[in-house]
Amino acid sequence: MKSAFLQFAKIGNPSEVLQLEERHIAPPTGHEVLVRMRYAPVNPADLNFMEGTYGRIATPPCIPGHEGFGEVEALGPDVHSLQKGDVVISLLGTGCWTQHLIAPEHALAKVPQRIDPVQASMLRVNPVTAWIMLNEFADLEPGSWVVQNAANSGVGRALIQTARRLGFRTLNFVRREELFAELKGLGADEVLLDADDGLAQAKVILGKQPVRLAANAVGGDSAIRLMDLLSSEGVMVTYGAMSRRSLKVPNKFLIFKNLNLRGLWVTKWFEKATREQLYGVLEPLTEMILANELVTAVDEIVPFQRYERAITRAQESGRSGKVILDFA
């Protein structure tokens, strides 16, 4: 069987190195599963992977795509956890930009048939990152405050919605005032500009209420503002570096607050997670998607044959959500 896929043969600008190719797909053997991919988002990590700036170095030729959704078409003779017709998301962390994916059964997670396929295609990266930050780094109680920058990012929006489900309050920093109403609509308790004036407003809002957790996707001065809001022995989790500025920590935050600075790369979490841990995260997030409590914004759905358009749009600022490749 022949199948189309997207591949880059060398490191470089994604819009220049990505190409549409065709290959022969052999029937699955052993514990292998053949998945007919339906949708896959274009994430910043995918672009960085092709550029050679991601945490994992590519060895071209490579098929990018950190996450995606599809339907099981065929099974190897030793597969027991899946059946033909099941719908799944890939846990591989690469290789999803293809019409057909061959993967071992343990690298796929079954999701409910009635789940929105586009939303499911975006489940693995941003929602899981948000869930882990809210559940594994600090002992939060209902009503606890969580502060974050880049609140309009994919992770930021997922964190707002997940925190609301878990009973936490969020104070969110963004760079544009026009984002306030949208994030409030998702469940954000407070939205402020990521600047010194916003920091001053945040201090008034929080008063003496403790802040035990901060989520940092920016670095630089923005991260310093988050550290300023954290309470003694609070935790700041860095999961991104959008400003491309190093994380600088004023001595006073270590000496007088004894802050804990942690990092999160969801790829590593998946590598270490047990099956029980994995479904302990995916199941509640799936329930939220089914209940329409977790919605990832979509900017545009693009047929994979028009991948140039998808890459160009994903690299543009001012998008209203994710760009999705349609392999259906």
* pLDDT exceeds 80 at position 128: yes
| Integer Cα distance of 248 and 223 in angstroms | 8
Q: What are the catalytic residues?
A: 54
285 in Cβ contact with 16 (< 8 Å): no
Confidence of residue 169 (pLDDT cuts 50, 70, 90): very high
- pLDDT of residue 294 exceeding 90, the answer is yes
For the segment 107-131, the average pLDDT, to the nearest whole number, is 97
Residue 317 confidence (pLDDT): 83
Residue 216's pLDDT is what? 98
pTM for the structure as a whole: 0.95
Whole-number pLDDT of residue 245: 81
Q: What structural domains does the chain harbor?
A: 2-122+296-326 (3.90.180.10), 126-266 (3.40.50.720)
Mean pLDDT value of segment 99-103: 97
* Contact predicate 226/251, CB 8 Å: no
Q: Buried b / exposed e across 177-210, counting CB within 10 Å, b at 16+?
A: eebbeebeebbbbbbbbbeeebbeebeeebeeee
Q: What is the mean pLDDT of residues 54-65?
A: 93
Give the pLDDT confidence of 184-240 residue by residue, as tens digits. 999 999 999 999 999 999 999 999 999 999 999 999 999 999 999 999 999 999 999
Residue of 257, 235, 258, 279 lying closest to 106 (CA atoms): 279
pLDDT in tens, 249-269: 999 999 999 999 999 999 999
246 pLDDT higher than 90: no
Q: How confident is the model at residue 65 (pLDDT cuts 50, 70, 90)?
A: very high
Q: Are 247 and 227 in contact (CB under 8 A)?
A: no
Q: Report whether pLDDT(39) > 90.
A: yes
- Confidence class for position 319, pLDDT limits 50, 70, 90: confident
Whether the per-residue pLDDT at 149 is higher than 90: the answer is yes
Confidence band (pLDDT; 50, 70, 90) for 146?
Answer: very high
pLDDT of residue 243: 78
pLDDT at 124 over 90: yes
- Reported in sequence order, the residue ranges of the chain that DSSP labels E, i.e. its strands, are 2-8, 18-24, 32-42, 69-75, 87-90, 100-104, 108-111, 145-148, 169-174, 190-193, 211-216, 235-238, 260-263, 298-303, 322-326
| pLDDT(49) > 80 | yes
For residue 244, pLDDT beyond 80: no
Q: What is the largest CA-CA distance in the chain?
A: 64
pLDDT digits (tens, 9 = 90+) for 205-217: 999 999 999 999 9
What is the arithmetic mean of pLDDT over 13-25?
A: 97
C-alpha count within 13 angstroms, C-beta hemisphere, residue 63: 22
